[in-house]
């Protein structure tokens, strides 16, 4: 199917215009799929009729699947989740962010088929909500990683169970930071007609200069992928080393598999899109800063790759609950979902952390000292 659609793209119409015929305009849709117009010299613009055809089929199908599976999965986590420690609170906010992000997908699916028909107000609101919850979901995953790292590797309980508001306040700070990151969307998102898409109205940002595009891309790559990826790699690598010490009980092996699954799910979901987006950013920068001109075939192939990789990346919100449901239901999140703090008196008081694991078929817990 993809091959047939791509072959149709080779028949795209080419329109040659000069600088005087347009203003600087950068297009991207909900999946950050860009085509661009150069500000230097003569430019060959590619008609996106075939790309529109692909988007009108691929995006609604995948987004509908993500909406149903994601809402059911995250809703199930919210139902069975019992707030017992900081990790549970982070998971709660992660599920809320995923659900809010999922609720924006129907708008983007309709846009792929009919264009943006909801007006400029909903354009700004939906785009900003999408950005806020995208960043919030990534940051909450990082918070879960840090919490597990401190709890398991350093045996430090980040927040007392008697003070859950402390953790909620930390989550609130994350939400506020994500709100700040969405300011460009509130400012620059508009509902405008795109001549390359048969004058169909699109919800897109109109940046005042090329620098804004580069800055937003740089922020996305650093805050939305590189930094969270480094945090997760560091934290979970240390956790794996810690869990591999001592006896290899079934619960520890299960926890190791969960850690590997969490890391793989993140990188498999987001790495292809980020690589494609970096290539697109380099291509745009070369076009703006030099006389380099990308062929219509290459531009169309890149646009197709952006649509596919970004849509698949957003399916990550469906993977999270699949992993967390098992963790929460068995109360063995990374071998430390349940923790007991005991004081033993040996010529005085000595405090010691014990990591307690549920044992199948037993009424008690097995504790890793």
Summarised one tens digit per residue, pLDDT across range 205-261 is 998 888 888 899 899 999 999 999 999 999 989 988 887 775 556 666 676 777 778
In this prediction, residue 116 carries a pLDDT of 94
Digit-coded pLDDT (tens) for 121-139:
999 999 999 999 999 999 9
Mean per-residue pLDDT of the chain: 74
- Alpha carbon 309 to its chain centroid, in Å, reads 12
Q: State the virtual CA torsion across 83, 77, 237, 239 in degrees, nearest 10.
A: 40
Looking only at the bridges linking them, the beta strands covering 43-46 and 34-36 are unpaired
Please provide the CATH number assigned to the domain covering 2-333.
1.20.1070.10
When pLDDT is cut at 50, 70 and 90, the band that residue 288 belongs to is low
List all residues 6 or more positions away from 328 whose beta carbon is below 8 Å from its beta carbon: 77, 80, 81, 82, 88, 91, 337
Between 12 and 317, the more confident residue is 317
The pTM is what?
A: 0.74
Structure tokens at 300: 């169309």
Q: Taking phi first (over 0 means left), then psi (-120 to 50 degrees means alpha), and beta for anything else, what does residue 303 get?
A: alpha
């Amino acid at each position: 199917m993809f091959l047939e659609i791509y072959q149709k793209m080779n028949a795209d119409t080419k329109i040659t215009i000069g600088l005087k015929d347009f203003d600087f305009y950068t297009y991207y849709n909900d999946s950050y799929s860009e085509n661009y117009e150069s500000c230097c010299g003569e430019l060959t613009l590619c008609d996106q009729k075939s790309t529109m055809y692909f988007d009108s089929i691929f995006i609604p199908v995948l987004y509908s699947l993500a909406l149903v599976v994601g809402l059911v999965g995250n809703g199930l986590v919210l139902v069975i989740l019992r707030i017992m420690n900081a990790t549970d609170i982070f998971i709660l906010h992660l599920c809320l962010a995923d659900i809010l992000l999922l609720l924006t997908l129907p708008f983007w699916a309709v846009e792929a088929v009919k264009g943006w028909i909801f007006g400029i107000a909903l354009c700004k609101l939906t785009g900003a909500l999408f950005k806020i919850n995208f960043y919030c979901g990534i940051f909450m995953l990082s918070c879960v990683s840090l919490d597990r790292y401190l709890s398991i590797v350093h045996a430090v309980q980040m927040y007392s169970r008697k003070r859950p508001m402390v953790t909620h306040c930390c989550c609130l700070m994350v939400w506020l930071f994500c709100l700040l990151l969405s300011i460009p969307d509130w400012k620059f998102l508009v509902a405008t007609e795109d001549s390359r898409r048969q004058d169909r109205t699109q919800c897109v940002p109109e940046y005042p200069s090329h620098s804004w595009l580069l800055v937003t891309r740089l922020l996305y790559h650093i805050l939305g992928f590189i930094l969270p990826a480094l945090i997760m790699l560091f934290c979970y690598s240390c956790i794996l080393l810690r869990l591999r010490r001592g006896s290899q009980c079934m619960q520890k092996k299960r926890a190791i598999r969960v850690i590997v699954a969490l890391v793989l799910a993140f990188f498999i979901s987001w790495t292809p899109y980020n690589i494609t987006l970096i290539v697109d950013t380099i291509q745009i920068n070369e076009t703006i800063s030099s006389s380099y001109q990308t062929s219509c075939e290459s531009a169309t192939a890149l646009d197709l790759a952006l649509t596919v990789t970004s849509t698949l990346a957003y399916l990550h919100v469906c993977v999270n609950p699949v992993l967390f449901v098992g963790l929460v239901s068995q109360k063995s999140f990374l071998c430390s979902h349940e923790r007991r703090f005991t004081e033993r008196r040996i010529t005085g008081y000595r405090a010691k952390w014990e990591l307690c694991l549920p044992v199948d078929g037993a009424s008690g817990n097995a504790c890793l000292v």
